[in-house]
Amino acid sequence: MQEIIGTILMVIGLIFVTIAIFGVYRFKYVLNRMHAVAICDTLGMFFVLLGVMVCFGLSFASLKCALILVFFWLAGPVSTHLIARLEVTTNEPMAKKLKGEDQI
């Protein structure tokens, strides 16, 4: 029963990762792509690692998976924010639009 629940959680995670892959190819603008990947990637990792933790049971390997999950949940949004900020600052038309310089 433990393996079945773990497998179901991992399949749910893989579905989210697949949605993220389609989001990368579906959207044209880089910030839209990043948003789709950031949301689905975080959920996908959560469910996959949760499924692995359920399959391992209460062990040292589960603790390692939990620490990996915490690290990814802290590092993922920060890196996504920094990349998005870099895109906005290096994209001249968007920077002007966000600052309101294009309005007279």
| pLDDT single digits (tens) 59-104 | 999 999 999 999 988 888 888 888 888 888 887 776 676 666 555 4
Torsion, Cα 5 46 38 82, to 10 degrees, reads -170
**Better pLDDT: 100 or 23:** 23
Task: Give me the chain's average pLDDT, please.
Answer: 86
pTM of the model: 0.76
> Distance between CA 90 and CA 25 in Å, rounded?
22
